[in-house]
Amino acid sequence: MIYEGQNLTVSLLDNGFAELVFDAKGSVNKFDRQTISELDEATQAIAGNSDITGVVVRSAKSAFIVGADITEFTDMFSLSDEEVLSWASKTSSVFNRFEDLPVPTIAAVNGFALGGGCEMTLACDLRVVDTTASIGLPEVNLGIMPGFGGTVRLPRIIGSDNALEWMTTGKPRKGQQALDEGAVDAVVAPEKLVDAALSMLADAVAGKLDWQARRANKKAPLKLNSNEAIMSFSTAQAFVAAKAGKHYPAPHMMVETVKNAANLDRDGALALENEGFVKLAKTDAAKAQIGIFMADQLVKSKGKKLAKSASKEVATNAVLGAGIMGGGIAYQSAVKGMPVIMKDINQPALDLGLSEAANILNKGIQLGKVKPEQMAKTLNAITPSLEYSAIKDVDLVIEAVVENPKVKSIVLKETEQNVSDDTILCSNTSTISINHLAESLEKPERFCGMHFFNPVHRMPLVEIIRGEKTSDDTIAAVVATTLKMGKTPIVVNDCPGFLVNRVLFPYFAGFSKLVLDGADFVAVDKVMEKQFGWPMGPAYLLDVVGMDTGDHAASVMAEGIPERMQKVENDPITLLFNNERLGQKNGKGFYNFSKDKRGKPKKDAAPEAYELFKPYQAEAKEFSNEETIARLMIPMANEAIRCLEEGIVASAAEADMALIYGLGFPPFRGGIFRYIETMGLANFVELADKYAHLGPIYQITDGVRQMAAEGKSYFA
């Protein structure tokens, strides 16, 4: 043994090759401070051994190296700029020293080689991957950029155009694509990986592969003439501007860094990478996106743990109520290999549900993402029926009928009488109390909420709502089923609107009040989309949701939480609903929906909506971006805080992920609690107090006031 650390070892093989093996104590290999230190020590041990003629780098696990240890970033990035820069420079020098070994090196890659794992392979002279490999630089998803030499080495290996596409999108490559783009030198079967690597290394030692020329190319300036450089980087800048916009600084920084380093050697280019990395590490976007990653890991970990505890396995399920929503749920079950029975009381509804599933699949075929045989298999897994007898043996039933408590209670009661004693019943309700619906059941312990979001096949979140009498076994089984269906479950406790809709409707109320105070709804949409970063402004979102749904849900919320959520007098939403302006579903709401000359859908601010609002509006007024954002976001933040304080949601991290997955909360802001903390709790309290006169939804809790005074954090 030449070197032995906690996370990696180096041993000398019979043929004079050194084998550097990553094998951390945990389930995966990752670059934490300990591993980077050990890599440096191992490199020095290799450099000091004259018997070594080549080095093969591999993993003893099912994945190569999954990246850097993100858990170390939060503390590290809170250090001064100088300290972060020192860390980045020292770490880069570790990879440089490995790259500068006096013998050829090859990476034998299996499974994931992401971020720092990919950069480790780039520091090698040669790369061979097996068919399980996935290689890439996904740092952009964390709001940062590669920091171990990725922006320097990858452009010099595969060209700046390809490298920038890799880095600014963060999309990993499977073996064959990586080979086609020149990032790796061979793709082999898993059982042949090590032998292939050793064979290629032998060829390099024998002079059959010019590893020295490859290495020299990585350490030299980019081979671009001035015209090529202008074309390459202007194209990349335009692509990033269109895709990322102004709220995500990381991809812009990557383009600038590679552009400015094009004429520099490795050391000069690395210095620019280090500087860019530090600047990004200090941005709010990086803090938010790293926070999302950590929160997502928490949510997934809790889901898997709950699923493992399930005593009942759900093999088949049923959806009651076909239509668009029921068809979407049935599709999601079937496409993930779970047979599903779709029941309704009339054939046209069943036909609509089946056509919804078929439409989703047809779009997939048109985009090349679905094969015809997959479409047939999915549709064959959906069994339509008009009879209760068809569902008597299923393991789980998802009720998805009209959002009416009386209708739902009747359907649930009938269903309970037509299924086995251990069948789990769920209601896909968006606002109605699970405790109230449970009153109609003989066994409320096997009942909970299972709230899907529309469109089901696109929205990743499912809220699992625990009622007062819901058993732990029921929750565990439903969480396991949700994961099987390819969705992210977040468990919340029962209350009107649960978590997502409970915090959404104060946001809508803030919007309605702003419009009545003289704001132009188009201007509000523009601010909330362009400045705050929502995918849709509130008026457009309400048009998509439907004014009938919005008005009904607002009534449910008003009845459930009357102290804060009484309906707004002369609410624009209600005015539109009463005048049969339902939004997209009938082509008219805040906006009029039509098609342009090319047949593409378009929306125009509706003069009819302005006329409806005018008798109830104050004089037209322009509100600043800051005031517009404050008047909509303070109510949402306040209600999220109340949900956390009341135990509706277990943690700020889960609340953040629920809003990101369920509402499309801007990821660069990290979720509602990360948004509050980025602003600073004391600043949030001061801002909310400024608008407290507008009503209860603007008035903060004693809890947040105390937290702000004591300097506490929701993420401590």
Name residue, tokens 């949402």.
Answer: 636
- CB-based contacts of 266: which residues, under 8 Å, 6+ apart? 96, 149, 152, 218, 219, 220
Residue 274: Cβ within 10 Å count: 22
Instruction: Report the alpha-carbon distance of residue 357 to residue 379 in Å, rounded.
Output: 7
Instruction: Report the alpha-carbon distance of residue 452 to residue 464 in Å, rounded.
Output: 9
Active site annotation includes 457: no
What tokens appear for 247 in the block? Answer: 């709220």
Annotate 199-213 with DSSP letters as a single string: HHHHHHHTTSS-HHH
Name residue, tokens 């954002």.
Answer: 629
Which of 30, 37, 34, 2 shows the shortest CA–CA distance to 18?
2
Instruction: Answer yes or no: are the C-beta atoms of 170 and 143 closer than 8 Å.
Output: no
Q: How many CA atoms lie less than 13 Å away from 611 in the CB half-sphere?
A: 5
Instruction: Answer yes or no: are the C-beta atoms of 138 and 235 closer than 8 Å.
Output: no
For CA atoms 601, 607, 611, 617, the dihedral sign is positive
CA angle in degrees (0–180, nearest 5) for 554-560-563: 90
Pairing of strands 17-22, 488-493: unpaired
What tokens appear for 109 in the block? Answer: 């890659």
Residue 522 to residues 533, 622, 631, 668, Cα–Cα distance (Å): 15, 11, 16, 23
What tokens appear for 223 in the block? Answer: 């081979």
Instruction: Report the alpha-carbon distance of residue 471 to residue 469 in Å, rounded.
Output: 6
Instruction: Answer yes or no: are the C-beta atoms of 609 and 469 closer than 8 Å.
Output: no
Residue 23: Cβ within 10 Å count: 14
Q: What are 450's strand-pairing partners? A: 464
Pick the catalytic residue from 451, 457, 552, 693.
451
What are the residue numbers of the active site? Answer: 451
